[in-house]
Structure 1
Amino acid sequence: MSAHDAREAATLATGTSRREGERAAPVRHAPRALSPGLTLATAGRVLRQIRNDPRTIALLVVLPCVLLGLIAWMFDGTPVLDQFGPILVGLFPMIIMFLVTSVTTLRERQSGTLERLMTMPLGKGDFVGGYALAFALLATVQALVVVAFAVWVCGMDVAGPVGLVVLVAVLDAILGSCLGLAASALARSEFQAVQLMPVILFPQLITCGLLMPRDEMPAVLEAISRVLPLTYGVSALQDVAAGGGFADVRGAVAVIVGFILGAIVLGTLTLRRRTA
């Protein structure tokens, strides 16, 4: 990290400690390149906020494990968990990360924190990149915990490599975070952010192949499913559950990564300083 980036990172770390409601002067800075120091400082600030919020930690880690545990209990002695468990391991983190990210980002804008940050030499790319990095780390921890719980506590049997289940689950969770970042620009309140979840995620749940095979769907729904990211996450997890290896899922993984990058770009372009 350069000395310039270090000074800017220190400015960012102390700039958010102003009194609540204090309005920063509307200083405009010239466009600047993405700063690794500011991106890392933003990620660190987000992680510290999450660490001090036990309810969010419980939502991220405890809730998906509880849901998987209930499903394992309900279908004990049947192959249901082995068949659908890997899919749910990727599905629950995506939904939860979408909700947490969209609400957290909107809260930053409503409290005026984002507007104050933007008066500093902090670009939109630094802000979105920092958030994406922080929630990517949280998504990785979440996926590791959920997969470990499903395999070693619930007894989920995966025919393919468990590492691939972790990989796809992490990517799905990161995708949920990036979609949450992009969706937060459309909401003006936390309630609206929650309302956007079914709008963005439910069509994907219906057409991803979880409820019925995609090749048995009407042609229109099958065509729509091809442009929705969750389709590829479910397809990859189904292949791993059936014993597939990396060669069988690399195409789907590449598509998910492409959607993640696209969501980050969209979040950067649509980011607003404050809620109107």
Structure 2
Amino acid sequence: MTPMLATAIRLLTQLRHDHRSLALVAVLPVVLISIAYALFDGAEPLVDRLQLDMMGVFPLILMCLLTSVAMLRERTSGTLERLMTTPITPWGLIGAYALAFGLLAAAQVAILSAWCFWALDLDIAGPVLAVLLVGVVNALMGVALGLFASAFARTEFQAIQMFPVLVIPQILLCGLFGRREDMAGWLQPVSDVMPLRYSVEALEQLRDHSDLTSTYWADLGIVAAVVVGVLVLASLTLRRRSA
């Protein structure tokens, strides 16, 4: 068994015994999206758009929070230093976190999608599996941001403080609360550098088109490139901290 796979299994085992985190991942998004559905009394097409966009936003939020705290515990408890004396490389450790939390995110998106499509009657033109793909890529972006944020925190409270800096501007400017075309002119270029904006656009392509459009793939590629870039930065922080 490779060190990366062994580390991923260890992380998944820890998560399996953390019932509060599992409830946060599996139950909270379902509850919140149901509240949003009831708040707007099932009004279409607003509710469909909101449900679809939130299926991309929730994985990013929760994986960022969970990963930043989990990696910070590894750093402060000395586990990271011990791991770095084993054959595992920084990239192997990053891959282990991406694998473990990516699987957790896939389960989260699957549960949320099942609830939205079957219980809340979400209707889109595109394939459901393409929605799952966007959700998992967004979750990996959350993992990458969480790993990166953990390098600049010494306590769990400081790690959570990084969340508003890294995530909330993306949520505000991604088009979730209104059309990007209606934003102030100076905000639109800022929105263009936010990766979550491309995730939301990809989901909107699935809402309106039965085929996977070139825009969908381009948007997904941009988000995936950001994930790789942030993971590279996160691996560099591991080298510095373990020296």
User: How far apart are residue 69 of structure 1 and its match?
Assistant: 1.4
Q: 2:221 aligns with which of 254, 258, 269?
A: 254
Q: Deviations over 1:215-258 (max 9, x none)?
A: 23233321111111101001111221223531241110111111
Say whether 1:199 aligns with 2:150: no
2:126·2:212 contact (CA, 8 Å) conserved in 1?
A: no
Match for residue 221 of structure 1?
Answer: 187
Distance, in Å, in 2 between the alignment partners of 1:75 and 1:160 is 24
TM-score (norm 1): 0.82
TM-score (norm 2): 0.93
User: How far apart are residue 169 of structure 1 and its match?
Assistant: 1.3
Q: 1:59 aligns with which of 17, 21, 24?
A: 24
Equivalent residue letter for 1:174: L
Q: 1:119 aligns with which of 85, 95, 98?
A: 85
Match for residue 103 of structure 1?
Answer: 69
Segments of 5+ residues of structure 2 without an aligned counterpart are none
User: How far apart are residue 77 of structure 1 and its match?
Assistant: 3.6
Q: 2:40 aligns with which of 68, 72, 75?
A: 75
User: How far apart are residue 211 of structure 1 and its match?
Assistant: 2.2
Match for residue 233 of structure 2?
Answer: 266
Distance, in Å, in 2 between the alignment partners of 1:192 and 1:155 is 40
Distance, in Å, in 2 between the alignment partners of 1:122 and 1:194 is 27
Segments of 5+ residues of structure 1 without an aligned counterpart are 1-5, 7-36
Of structures 1 and 2, the larger Rg is shown by 1
Equivalent residue letter for 2:222: V
| Count of residue pairs the alignment pairs up | 240
1:110·1:274 contact (CA, 8 Å) conserved in 2?
A: no
1:102·1:181 contact (CA, 8 Å) conserved in 2?
A: yes
Matches within 5 A, 1:81-100: 81-100=47-66
1:183·1:196 contact (CA, 8 Å) conserved in 2?
A: yes
Equivalent residue letter for 1:255: I
Distance, in Å, in 2 between the alignment partners of 1:172 and 1:101 is 13
Distance, in Å, in 1 between the alignment partners of 2:138 and 2:87 is 32
The secondary structure found in structure 2 opposite 1:210 is coil
